[in-house]
Amino acid sequence: MELTGLNFIGNEFSAEGNEIFNGVNPTTGQNLPTDFHEATSNEINKAISKAEQAFSVYSKKSGKEKALFLETIAEEILALDDDLIERCREETALPKTRLTGERGRTVNQLKLFADLLREGSWVEARIETAIPDRQPLPKPDIRSMYKALGPVGIFGASNFPLAFSVAGGDTASALAAGCTVIFKAHPAHPGTCELVASAIIIAVQKTNMPDGTFSMVHGRSTEVGMTIVKHPLIKAIGFTGSFKGGKAIYDAAVKRHEPIPVYAEMGRTNPVFILPDALRERKEEIAKGLASSVTLGVGQFCTNPGLVFFEESEDAKKFQQTAIENFVNVNAGTMLTSGIQNAYQNGIENIRNQQGIKLLAEGKTTGAVGEGIAYMFQTNVGIFLINEQLEKEIFGPSTLTVKANNKTDLLKAAQKLHGHLTITLHATEEDLKNYEDLISILERKAGRLIINGFPTGVEVCHSMIHGGPFPATTDNRTTSVGTLAINRFVRPVSYQNFPDNLLPDELKNNNTLGIWRLVNGERKR
């Protein structure tokens, strides 16, 4: 499929500006064919005006209509077939099997939201009927439900060019909610973005959604993204990416005349706690599992376990030795972009030079362009407690082990932690009994707690929370993965004393949609 390099202003192609850039093949460092046109402010404004107009129609589409739209997007993505996988592989250096899996995840995510919309109860309809003769005052008829926010801006990350990009979880949940979407294409995979955007536009047309339901603008400068964030018609931002990017966008959004919610899902270090009895029973297995989790996909996962805590013991020494043996045998892989590789190398250099940090293992170099070498470092709780930098993400295949003298030391380290996406415990039943206080501390620190597993791998389902307290995200009340993500793009609205015919179908007396509703305090269909 021939790429155009153009912006999608609703259903129209556009290239008003003179700023051009190319996708880059990370394995060669060479530019890929097709010049991409950075969007001008005029184009971004047009896209947002169209999104505002489209919103009045799109937000009123029924759950069934939106479900069909999402399913059609999924079909159109699959119809891109190898063209999509091949271009994505060229732009990201991610292997074909990984990308095929990620495409499956993206498509299933869209279908999961379609199922949610067909079932319909997600709107949380509440009905309190009037009691006109209530004393001392009559009670009015009040009904409420979730309604879409308006046009929203979405930013995707480079490390999931499909599942956290153009038709990823943020876009799927925003469209499912009834919002219209302006997507800021990621300059690390612009061709992939164009292909997926074209699939969405075909779906818009096939399912008769209004022009402007979806737009995508290219940009390599932060100006493009910031123009979206600051536009008065934009009502929320979904962001997946670095802490620096997410925080800058959040700060800009709160300074707006009308501040808006920013759901920035950023990178953190996902601490792992290995408790004494688990270490005694499974030290080798955990060490091997840790090495493969840290180095999977060249460590380029937001759920990469970058901090590992345990108490000093003979078992701990053996655990560490096995981990070292595994790390030194890992071959370096190609990183997503030269920018990410530079940031990784700088991060490694920085931690190497910190006081009290020892390099335990260095993986194998291949000498290839853009490689990321695996590293394992060591420190102790005393150092960890006084150096804030040690909790920061180094995006790539590295981890820092932190030795505690005893349980008190371990609890101190846990207390010191800031927010993370995940926290993992390796523990036996005995450990879980002895460390209940640790679990109570950790529950306040992460969006997802894992026992005897590894955090890489995020299931897309109804109960997944992929979020967590700041600085993992800028809003810890929600998730960017799973169906609960829809709640980010809605607000509750009450209708008081409305005649039945003016109420949304979800709130009418006759429950024709057959959804679950809370009627006078009782949940019924």
**Active site residue ranges:** 265, 302
Residue 245 as a binder of ligand NAP (CB under 6 A): the answer is yes
Residue 395 as a binder of ligand NAP (CB under 6 A): the answer is yes
Shortest Å distance, C-beta 310 to ligand NAP = 24
Q: How far apart are CA 169 and CA 162, in angstroms?
A: 9
Residue 271 as a binder of ligand NAP (CB under 6 A): the answer is no
Residue 159 as a binder of ligand NAP (CB under 6 A): the answer is yes
Residue 226 as a binder of ligand NAP (CB under 6 A): the answer is yes
Residue 482 as a binder of ligand NAP (CB under 6 A): the answer is no
Residue 265 as a binder of ligand NAP (CB under 6 A): the answer is yes
> Cα–Cα distances in Å, from 380 out to 87, 317, 513?
45, 14, 59
Residue 155 as a binder of ligand NAP (CB under 6 A): the answer is yes
Residue 98 as a binder of ligand NAP (CB under 6 A): the answer is no
Q: What are phi and psi of 424, to 5 degrees?
A: -115, 145
Shortest Å distance, C-beta 502 to ligand NAP = 40
Task: Provide DSSP, 89-135.
Answer: HHHH---HHHHHHHHHHHHHHHHHHHHHHHH-GGG--EEE--BTT-S
Neighbouring C-alpha atoms within 13 Å toward the C-beta of 504 = 24
Q: Considering beta carbons, is residue 155 or 309 the nearer one to ligand NAP?
A: 155
Q: Which residues lie closer than 8 Å to 222 by C-beta, 6 or more apart? A: 245, 248
Q: How far apart are CA 210 and CA 180, in angstroms?
A: 10
Buried b (16+ CB within 10 A) or exposed e, 452-461: eebbbebebe
Neighbouring C-alpha atoms within 13 Å toward the C-beta of 305 = 29
Single out the residue of 300, 274, 302 nearest to residue 288, CA to CA: 274
| Binding residue for ligand NAP, selected from 191, 267, 370, 419, defined by CB under 6 A | 267
Q: Checking DSSP bridges between strand 490-496 and strand 142-148, what pairing results, if any?
A: antiparallel
Q: Considering beta carbons, is residue 63 or 219 the nearer one to ligand NAP?
A: 219
Q: Which residues lie closer than 8 Å to 241 by C-beta, 6 or more apart? A: 155, 156, 157, 158, 264, 265, 266, 267
Q: Checking DSSP bridges between strand 446-451 and strand 420-426, what pairing results, if any?
A: parallel
Give the range of 11-19, 145-153, 219-227, 344-352 binding ligand NAP by CB under 6 A: 219-227
| Binding residue for ligand NAP, selected from 106, 192, 207, 240, defined by CB under 6 A | 240
- Residue 436: CB atoms within 10 A of its CB come to 8
Residue 219 as a binder of ligand NAP (CB under 6 A): the answer is yes
Residue 241 as a binder of ligand NAP (CB under 6 A): the answer is yes
Residue 253 as a binder of ligand NAP (CB under 6 A): the answer is no
| Binding residue for ligand NAP, selected from 150, 161, 178, 187, defined by CB under 6 A | 187
Q: How far apart are CA 137 and CA 259, in angstroms?
A: 37
Strand, coil or helix: 459 = coil
Q: Which two tokens stand for residue 398?
A: 């590295």
Q: x/- binding map, residues 332-351, to ligand NAP, per CB under 6 A?
A: --------x-----------
Shortest Å distance, C-beta 59 to ligand NAP = 26
Shortest Å distance, C-beta 192 to ligand NAP = 13
Q: How far apart are CA 46 and CA 375, in angstroms?
A: 47
| Binding residue for ligand NAP, selected from 50, 186, 283, 420, defined by CB under 6 A | 186
Give the range of 120-128, 238-246, 320-328, 355-363 binding ligand NAP by CB under 6 A: 238-246
Q: Considering beta carbons, is residue 100 or 222 the nearer one to ligand NAP?
A: 222
Q: What are phi and psi of 143, to 5 degrees?
A: -135, 145
Residue 157 as a binder of ligand NAP (CB under 6 A): the answer is yes
- Restricted to residues 347-386, the positions that interact with ligand NAP (CB under 6 A) are none
Q: x/- binding map, residues 285-324, to ligand NAP, per CB under 6 A?
A: -----------------x----------------------
| Binding residue for ligand NAP, selected from 98, 118, 220, 416, defined by CB under 6 A | 220
Taking the CA atoms of residue 182, residue 186, residue 191 and residue 194 in that order, the dihedral angle to the nearest 10 degrees is -10
* Peptide bond before residue 471 is cis, with ω within 30 degrees of 0: yes
Enter the DSSP assignment of 152.
E
Shortest Å distance, C-beta 184 to ligand NAP = 5
Strand, coil or helix: 141 = coil
Residue 25 as a binder of ligand NAP (CB under 6 A): the answer is no
Residue 222 as a binder of ligand NAP (CB under 6 A): the answer is yes
**Residues near ligand NAP (CB under 6 A):** 155, 157-160, 164, 184, 186-187, 219-220, 222, 225-226, 240-242, 245, 248-249, 265-267, 302, 340, 393, 395, 421, 466, 480
